[in-house]
């Protein structure tokens, strides 16, 4: 099969130059795995950070790839079941499925013609989602569901400010908050205003022309929840300044802006982990809460219900072909944090 492979760990910002498309053996599914013929995969900032070991300030989440043991990145996929492991009962050959490879990130990821994936991370693709759309929400949907439906207890008409509302995760979060009948204020660029309004945002604040905190403070407008998909200490500070006394700040990114852009030493990593745990711990005593989004299996049933009720309609920025120049360009584009929804790879052409 054709697969995108790395034969060494790329240095920061070198991923797009360092990968190859190579011929690899089709993986054999383990007892609880399903071999999927991949129709679509996605390129996310986390694929880049994990490959370059720059997530969490440089903590390597995988051992480095080598010439003998190359690694294939890719977290999210959709496709058709090819074969199943001996213990797998819910799926059979020919089923249309989607899912994310889960943690720990595997050596054989989704950027390949075939991917073997644990059945617990896989779902049947509903008719209403195309294969590209299904891939586009496989992992991002879990993060958005965790942020909105698990970390918050949104009641109708609660005010929810979503920072980074036009991104792959943020645009799903807007839809889930809307489904909970919240009043949603989206923070994004003017150019994305129509898009985020079309998926349910009641109001948009353009972060290029004004500070959301200043704007809302002038109006004496306090939020029940601030959901952060951009990160950074400044955003955290601004968010707390506009929260209600019992409001919650929910972040999927944390204190370092674009977590991963800085390489930390061990002392930096310890400081960062302490920073997050201290905030979470101290907020159990405070009225305003700090919540770090870390999805677990428990989010799966809530996500499945959202899919069942067709509450999620993923936004696709572009669909690219499975070739080196397009993938290289897409990696650099995703790294810029300018994507409007998701960048999807067409591994196998599909019109079904």
Ligand X SMILES: NC(=O)c1ccc[n+]([C@@H]2O[C@H](COP(=O)([O-])OP(=O)(O)OC[C@H]3O[C@@H](n4cnc5c(N)ncnc54)[C@H](OP(=O)(O)O)[C@@H]3O)[C@@H](O)[C@H]2O)c1
Question: Is residue 188 at the binding interface for ligand X, with CB under 6 A as the rule?
Answer: yes
Contacts of 213 (CB under 8 A, 6+ apart): 238, 239, 241, 242
The minimum distance between CB 165 and ligand X, in angstroms, equals: 7
The minimum distance between CB 295 and ligand X, in angstroms, equals: 6
Stretch that binds ligand X, among 13-21, 27-35, 59-67, 226-234 (CB under 6 A): 226-234
The minimum distance between CB 68 and ligand X, in angstroms, equals: 30
Stretch that binds ligand X, among 7-15, 112-120, 196-204, 229-237 (CB under 6 A): 229-237
The minimum distance between CB 164 and ligand X, in angstroms, equals: 4
Classified as helix, coil or strand, 237 is helix
**Which member of 223, 230, 239, 242 binds ligand X (CB under 6 A)?**
230
Q: Which of 117, 188, 181, 177 is nearest to 312 (CA)?
A: 177
Classified as helix, coil or strand, 103 is coil
Residues 313-352 that bind ligand X (CB under 6 A): 337-340
What are the tokens at 172? 């799903």
Nearer to ligand X, 26 or 273 (CB): 273
Q: Which of 43, 137, 126 is nearest to 327 (CA)?
A: 43
**Number of continuous H segments (helices) and E segments (strands) in the chain:** 11, 15
Nearer to ligand X, 13 or 21 (CB): 13
Assess contact for 99 and 32: CB atoms under 8 A: no
Question: Is residue 170 at the binding interface for ligand X, with CB under 6 A as the rule?
Answer: yes
**Which member of 100, 133, 175, 192 binds ligand X (CB under 6 A)?**
192
Task: Quote the Cα angle for 257-296-37, to 5°.
Answer: 95
d(CA 258, CA 56): 10
Q: Which of 332, 333, 306 is nearest to 317 (CA)?
A: 333
**Which member of 169, 185, 226, 291 binds ligand X (CB under 6 A)?**
169
Assess contact for 40 and 344: CB atoms under 8 A: yes
Stretch that binds ligand X, among 103-111, 224-232, 238-246, 324-332 (CB under 6 A): 224-232
Task: Name the closest residue to ligand X (Cβ).
Answer: 167
**Which member of 33, 46, 76, 346 binds ligand X (CB under 6 A)?**
46
d(CA 129, CA 222): 36
Question: Is residue 167 at the binding interface for ligand X, with CB under 6 A as the rule?
Answer: yes
Alpha-carbon torsion (127, 133, 347, 319), positive or negative = positive
The minimum distance between CB 315 and ligand X, in angstroms, equals: 9
Assess contact for 191 and 339: CB atoms under 8 A: no
Question: Is residue 48 at the binding interface for ligand X, with CB under 6 A as the rule?
Answer: no
Neighbours of 11 (CB within 10 A): 13
Task: Tell me the per-residue interface mask from 279 to 318 with ligand X, x by CB under 6 A, - otherwise.
Answer: --------------xxx-----------------------
Applying CB under 6 A, which residues contact ligand X?
44-46, 140, 143, 163-164, 166-170, 187-189, 192, 207, 229-231, 252-253, 293-295, 337-340
């Amino acid at each position: 099969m054709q697969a995108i492979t790395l034969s060494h760990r790329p240095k920061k910002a070198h991923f797009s130059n360092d990968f190859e498309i190579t011929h690899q053996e089709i993986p054999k599914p383990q007892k609880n795995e399903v071999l999927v013929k991949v129709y679509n995969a996605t390129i996310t900032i986390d694929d880049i950070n994990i490959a370059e070991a720059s997530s969490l300030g440089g903590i390597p989440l995988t051992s480095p790839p080598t010439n003998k043991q190359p690694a294939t990145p890719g977290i999210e996929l959709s496709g058709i079941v090819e074969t199943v492991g001996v213990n797998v009962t819910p799926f059979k050959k020919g089923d249309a499925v989607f899912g994310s490879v889960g943690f720990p990130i595997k050596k054989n990821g989704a950027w390949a013609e075939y991917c073997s994936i644990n059945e617990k991370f896989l779902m049947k693709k509903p008719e209403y989602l195309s294969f590209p759309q299904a891939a586009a929400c496989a992992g991002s949907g879990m993060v958005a569901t965790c942020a909105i439906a698990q970390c918050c207890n949104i009641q109708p008409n609660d005010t929810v400010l979503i920072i980074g509302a036009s991104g792959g995760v943020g645009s799903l979060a807007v839809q889930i908050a809307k489904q909970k009948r919240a009043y949603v204020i989206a923070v994004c660029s003017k150019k994305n205003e129509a898009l985020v309004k079309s998926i349910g945002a009641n109001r948009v604040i353009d972060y290029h022309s004004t500070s959301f905190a200043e704007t809302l403070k002038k109006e004496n407008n306090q939020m029940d929840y601030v959901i952060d998909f951009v990160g950074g200490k400044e955003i955290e500070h601004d968010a707390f300044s506009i929260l209600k006394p019992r409001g919650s700040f929910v972040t999927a990114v944390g204190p370092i802006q674009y977590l991963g852009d800085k390489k930390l030493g061990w002392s930096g990593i310890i400081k960062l982990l302490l920073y997050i745990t201290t905030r979470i711990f101290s907020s159990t005593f405070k009225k305003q809460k700090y919540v770090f989004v870390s999805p677990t299996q428990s989010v799966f049933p809530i996500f499945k219900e959202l899919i069942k009720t067709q509450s999620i309609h993923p936004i696709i920025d572009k669909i690219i072909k499975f070739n080196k120049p397009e993938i290289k360009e897409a990696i650099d584009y995703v790294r810029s944090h300018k994507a409007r929804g998701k960048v999807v790879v067409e591994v196998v052409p599909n019109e079904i």
